[in-house]
Chain A
């Protein structure tokens, strides 16, 4: 097994959900209605669990530091999250669109990982895929409602948020040098294959929402090499505050 390639893949997957979990949790107490406040907080909690499970695999099987150190003890340049998850929540339209595009990608990725040749990951995938159904269902319900059953304004706002989010969303599927080895050994299907499947899934949902899928955009890249958006540094300062004061704190 190409250990460096495995670490690269699992760290970038875990970092994406960790950072997006933090963004989602920023809606706690501020959601437009109580149910949405709870929904984003619950998705955040699920995602934090997924990140922790991935860091645990990295720790137990690949000798990486323990999950708390991975989540709270790394410098910005050592993080591998993509810019898409780092962007601020903005208004609710953008948060919903990001929720949809991200969870469609997660659903495709984790569905495929159920067949991974690496057993601990395949087992985790069976579990996580069932949870992601709920994330995708929630996002899809709102996108379809605001796109095809709302007002002209709601539809225009969803389309505008979608156009803004799109190039960033494509950054989820940045291929890495070690990926070819992982594809060859059946560890995962590769980013290009996942992206193709994601586009089909997203296209179907957007059609129901009468929204138009953006085309011909270049992906926003950089996070996988440690070059982040301007928004990650302040997020890390906030997210790691307790840990930096007392790394042994329990809460």
Chain B
């Protein structure tokens, strides 16, 4: 068993709230340790501290590694490596777009000013003539926007 084989299996585990993206592309898998074929330790971190989907994803991650025939699987949820949207992979960003969500841009999270939410690129037409309607959306990681160009409401994935 190699680390890559485990990661490849984890690509099949999806975020239940955004089924087009895997937990790997979401960037919430922070460490995979393989100790010969008998023990695999996965460390993951939630997107938001109160993310209600983390328990489901943790169970799915454990099941996916177990399905590889690994006897002992340990999955830990920690804040040791905090999740930020910069951890999304390019494939992850594309998956968000496919789901109709404006992907977050890369930011220095320490100096991030939320004014950037006022001109998020529309996922439908690409225009930046957009307006933030609310920094809170249907899940903790999304915000609500309106495109003044193609006149559609859309959701964005919040930069954190």
Enumerate chain A interface residues (CB-CB to B < 8 A): 35-36, 38-39, 41-43, 45-50, 52-53, 120, 123-124, 126-128, 130-131, 133-134, 137-138
Contact = CB atoms under 8 A, between A and B. Distances in A.
Contacts of A134: 114, 135-136, 158, 160
A196 to B, nearest CB: 23
* B49, B79, B109, B144: residue with the most chain A Cβ atoms closer than 10 Å: B49
A142 B79 CA distance: 31
B79 A46 contact: no
Contacts of B140: 42, 45-46
A124 B78 CA distance: 9
A130 B109 contact: yes
Interface in B82-129: 82-84, 109, 112, 114
B2 to A, nearest CB: 29
A74 B50 CA distance: 22
Nearest to B112: A133
* A36, A52, A123, A134: residue with the most chain B Cβ atoms closer than 10 Å: A134
B133 A127 contact: no
Main secondary structure of the interface of B (DSSP, over half): loop
A41 to B, nearest CB: 8
Contact of A50 (B50, B52, B109): B50
Contacts of A46: 48-50, 140
B5 interface: no
A39 B135 contact: yes
Interface string B63-84: 0000000000000000110111
A198 to B, nearest CB: 19
A36 to B, nearest CB: 8
B49 A42 contact: no
Main secondary structure of the interface of A (DSSP, over half): helix
Contact of A35 (B52, B114, B134): B134
B51 to A, nearest CB: 7
B84 A38 contact: no
B50 A130 contact: no
A209 B1 CA distance: 60
Contacts of B158: 134
A128 B80 contact: no
A39 B136 contact: yes
Interface of B: 48-52, 79-80, 82-84, 109, 112, 114, 133-138, 140, 144, 158, 160
Given A35-B133, A38-B137, A137-B114, A130 B51 contact: no
Given A49-B51, A53-B49, A130 B160 contact: yes
A138 B49 contact: no
A123 B79 contact: yes
A41 B138 CA distance: 10
Contacts of A130: 82, 84, 109, 112, 160
Contact of B49 (A36, A38, A49, A120): A49
Contacts of B84: 130
Q: What are the 3 tightest A-B residue pairs by CB atom distance, in nearest-first order? A: A49-B50, A42-B136, A49-B49
Contacts of A131: 48-49, 160
Given A35-B144, A38-B136, A123-B79, A52 B114 contact: no
B82 A45 contact: no
A27 to B, nearest CB: 12
Contact of A133 (B82, B83, B114): B114
* A42, A126, A138: residue with the most chain B Cβ atoms closer than 10 Å: A42
A132 B109 CA distance: 13
A48 B50 CA distance: 7
Contacts of B109: 130
